[in-house]
């Protein structure tokens, strides 16, 4: 079931501040899934060093950034389209392809549906079931591809954290190709995985011209305010996306930050190691709170069933806001209900505040 505010997102600090006053530093935002280590010092320095260059137009070809992406992810630079966030590219894709019927898993990131609807598409859902831990049954999914123009898959999936291996996706892509269905795989959280090579489909790009990969750089590198992402696809798709986008869609600061970030091996390893440890600590601590059923996390967020508590997701969100803590009310996800919330993984001292506040408001042990 869905809520009334079907396309709200987490991370809306601005609305909270407008409503209640205060400033960013007074609010703990567990509703947005951003790297808890924050901006690296190398990105901070390059932003400072790049300020004088904003008197010039950005590089419309994003040459340095495409080269860095090509080296880091081992992909052909000609397959890359740079975006003002991955979301911009999914909207451009839908407006250029003008699909009639689009299939999305449910629950998943709402912007796939928004982008498809904005181009006039009819939306169909492939519902994931709580009884199966919200895992995607790829064989069942293939049976629903008839007359589908685009299938969107988030891997790892937001908000459930579930994963498909690239072997599973290979089989799905094969069936989809026979059905003339484009498959858009959003790998925006894949950098958090220590074993990403088991899941990424980048190596399948030369095999499937119906495969399009979306990737955000803002979550892993903690720069959502800069807006930076990219897509990978066939020459036809890449040419089409470039024709459909603003030539200067990504600003100079974001491009320079992306180049530096992709070269920062130390920050990347530190981030993956940190999340691997802290997600499990938070998950195990959530298990100790009466009435909460957290789902096993794969990356930097945790879906939680709160059905056994005395509150629904909207009530709990409002109570937590009085403590200056934002959580994600998941009632507006198709396929979920007011029994679900999502929280991000943050630094230990902040996770403790979340846990103690949840225990207090829920009367847990």
Q: Tell me what the mean pLDDT of segment 22-42 comes to.
A: 88
Q: Give the pLDDT score at 350.
A: 98
Domain boundaries of the chain, sorted by first residue: 13-39+266-362, 41-263
Percent of the chain with pLDDT over 90: 92
Q: Report domain 13-39+266-362's class.
A: alpha beta
Specify the pTM: 0.94
**Rounded to whole angstroms, how far apart are CA atoms 128 and 334?**
10
Q: Tell me what the mean pLDDT of segment 47-53 comes to.
A: 97
Percent of the chain with pLDDT over 70: 93
Give the bridge partners for 125, in sequence order: 104
**Rounded to whole angstroms, how far apart are CA atoms 364 and 358?**
8
CA separation, residue 230 to residues 22, 213, 221, 242 (Å): 35, 8, 14, 12
- Topology of 41-263 in CATH? 3.40.640
The tens digit of pLDDT for each residue in 248-305 reads 999 999 999 999 999 999 999 999 999 999 999 999 999 999 999 999 999 999 999 9
**Rounded to whole angstroms, how far apart are CA atoms 220 and 223?**
8
**Rounded to whole angstroms, how far apart are CA atoms 323 and 339?**
21
Q: Give the pLDDT score at 4.
A: 37
Give the bridge partners for 185, in sequence order: 153, 213
Q: Give the pLDDT score at 8.
A: 67
């Amino acid at each position: 079931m869905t809520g009334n505010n079907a396309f709200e997102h987490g991370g809306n600090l601005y609305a909270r501040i407008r409503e209640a006053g205060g400033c960013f530093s007074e609010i703990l935002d567990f509703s947005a899934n951003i790297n808890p280590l924050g901006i690296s010092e190398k990105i901070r320095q390059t932003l400072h060093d790049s300020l004088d260059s904003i008197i010039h137009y950005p590089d419309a070809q994003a040459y340095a950034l495409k080269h860095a992406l090509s080296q880091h992810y081992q992909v052909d630079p000609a397959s890359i389209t740079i975006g003002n966030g991955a979301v911009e590219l999914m909207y451009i894709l839908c407006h250029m392809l003008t699909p009639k019927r689009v299939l999305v898993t449910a629950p998943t990131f709402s912007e796939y549906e928004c982008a498809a609807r904005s181009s006039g598409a009819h939306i169909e859902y492939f519902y994931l079931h709580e009884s199966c831990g919200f895992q995607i049954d790829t064989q069942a999914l293939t049976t629903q591809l008839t007359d589908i123009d685009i299938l969107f898959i988030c891997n790892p999936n937001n908000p459930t954290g579930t994963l498909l291996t690239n072997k599973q996706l290979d089989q799905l892509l094969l069936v989809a190709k026979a059905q003339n269905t484009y498959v858009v795989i959003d790998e925006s959280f894949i950098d958090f995985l220590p074993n990403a090579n088991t899941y990424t489909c980048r190596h399948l790009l030369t095999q499937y011209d119906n495969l399009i990969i979306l990737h955000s750089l803002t979550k892993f590198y903690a720069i959502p305010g800069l807006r930076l992402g990219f897509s990978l696809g066939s020459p036809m798709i890449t040419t089409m996306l470039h024709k459909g986008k603003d030539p200067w869609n990504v600003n100079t600061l974001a491009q320079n930050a992306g180049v530096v970030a992709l070269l920062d091996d130390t920050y990347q390893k530190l981030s993956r190691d940190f999340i691997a440890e802290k997600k499990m600590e938070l998950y195990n601590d959530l298990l100790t709170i009466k009435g909460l059923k957290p789902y096993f996390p794969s990356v930097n967020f945790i879906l939680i069933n709160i059905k056994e508590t005395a509150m629904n997701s909207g009530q709990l969100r409002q109570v937590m806001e009085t403590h200056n803590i934002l959580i994600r009310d998941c009632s507006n996800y198709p396929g979920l209900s007011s029994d679900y919330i999502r929280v991000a993984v943050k630094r230990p001292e902040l996770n403790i505040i979340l846990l103690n506040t949840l225990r207090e408001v829920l009367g847990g042990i």
